[in-house]
Every structure is written in structure tokens, then in C-alpha cells.
Amino acid sequence: MSSPSKRREMDLMKLMMSDYKVEMINDGMQEFYVDFNGPSDSPYQGGVWRIRVELPDAYPYKSPSIGFVTKIYHPNVDEMSGSVCLDVINQTWSPMFDLVNVFEVFLPQLLLYPNPSDPLNGEAAALMMRDRTAYEQRVKEYCEKYAKPENVGAAVEDQSSDEELSEDEYASSDEGVAGHADP
């Protein structure tokens, strides 16, 4: 059981048996989505986020790559890419940790105790330090808009259609400007 591939299988099965919805991305066991519920007694309560997990070949000796697919407003999560700034995952990972630790301990702790002094989302960090109530209200707005439980599976499609809509808006406004330039 000491080989990385056996450990990867064991950790993935343990995660699936812990009542997390896990959706494989490819045929292999290295990339998958996990649906993650916001912790109770936090502004994230009631939200459900789709998390993309990639396990490196050297897992568990090398940390998994974790990113939010569903938009979230948090100082330590990049709003555009979903990248997570979390020391335990990024710097102090140990083979003693497993995937269940990520979803039952590390991510809930990240959401419960944001660190605005090490931000990936500078706007969220500044708002949190300046006005905690307004910050928590913005978190709840993002939960309501993006992290509804019924929308979690459609997160990838929703984001791509939003981007297409934005591009269409830019294209139509450019045509209007070009049309006015010619007499």
C-alpha cells in the first residue's frame, strides 16, 4: 500500500465514502471535482462550491492542486482563476494529510479564518480590513449569486456563457463606435 497510486486510490475512495460528491474529469484518478459546502456559522453557510482537484504523480508526497471552479469572494482565493492561497496545501503539505483533511479541515478553516495580510483578492482583503460587515454582506451576495446548491453542477457552463456574453457586449459596442467614425 505504500505506492503513490495505491495511496491515491485509497484517499479518493475515502473521500467518496465521506459523503462528498466527487466527479471524475478523465478516466484516471488524478483530476476530479468535489462539491464543497460552506462551513456553518460563517457567511459562506448554505453555499456549495465546485472544487477542482489535481493529484500530482508524486501524491501524497507532493500536495494536491486545489482551485475553486465556482466563484467565491475571499481574500485568499483568486477571483478569476479560483487559485487558493493556503499554507498547509501549498507549503507545509505532508504525506500524513489526505484528501478528507483538505475538505473537512483545511478549506473550512480557510473560509472561517481568512488572512487579509496575504491576499490573492486584494479587493476582498481591503474590504474585510476596512468594513467587516460590508465584507460579509458581499460574501453572502456571491453565495446567493454563484454558490446555490442547485447551480453547483452548472458552474463551468455558467462561467463560459458569461464570458461569451461579455465578449458579445464588447463587440457590439465597438461596432457602434466604428459606425460613428465614418461620415
Ranked by mean pLDDT, which of 4-8, 89-93, 153-157, 165-169 comes out on top?
Answer: 4-8
Is residue 183 situated within a structural domain?
no
Residue pair 76/115 in contact by the 8 Å Cβ criterion: yes
Q: Please, which pLDDT band fits residue 86 given cuts at 50, 70 and 90?
A: confident
Q: Are 84 and 109 in contact (CB under 8 A)?
A: no
| Distance, CA of 152 to chain centre | 11
The model carries a pTM of: 0.79
Q: What are 53's three cell numbers?
A: 482537484
Q: Is residue 120 part of a domain?
A: yes
Specify if 171 maps to a domain.
no
For 3, list phi and psi in degrees, rounded to 5. Answer: -70, 145
The boundaries of the domain holding residue 127 are 4-151
The CATH number for 25's domain is 3.10.110.10
Residue 11 in domain: yes
Query: Residue 26's pLDDT is what?
Result: 84
User: Is pLDDT at 159 greater than 70 in this prediction?
Assistant: no
Mean pLDDT across the stretch 35-64? 94
Domains in the chain, number: 1
Would 181 be classed as within a structural domain?
no
| 80 found inside a domain | yes
Q: Is pLDDT of 71 > 70? A: yes
Cα angle for residues 6, 9, 15 (degrees, 5° grid): 140
Q: Which residues are part of the catalytic machinery? A: 85
Average pLDDT, stretch 133-140? 97
Specify if 33 maps to a domain.
Answer: yes
Q: Which three cell numbers stand for residue 97?
A: 494529510
Burial of 84 (0-12, 13-18, 19+ CB in 10 A): buried
Domain-embedded: residue 178 = no
d(CA 25, CA 55): 12
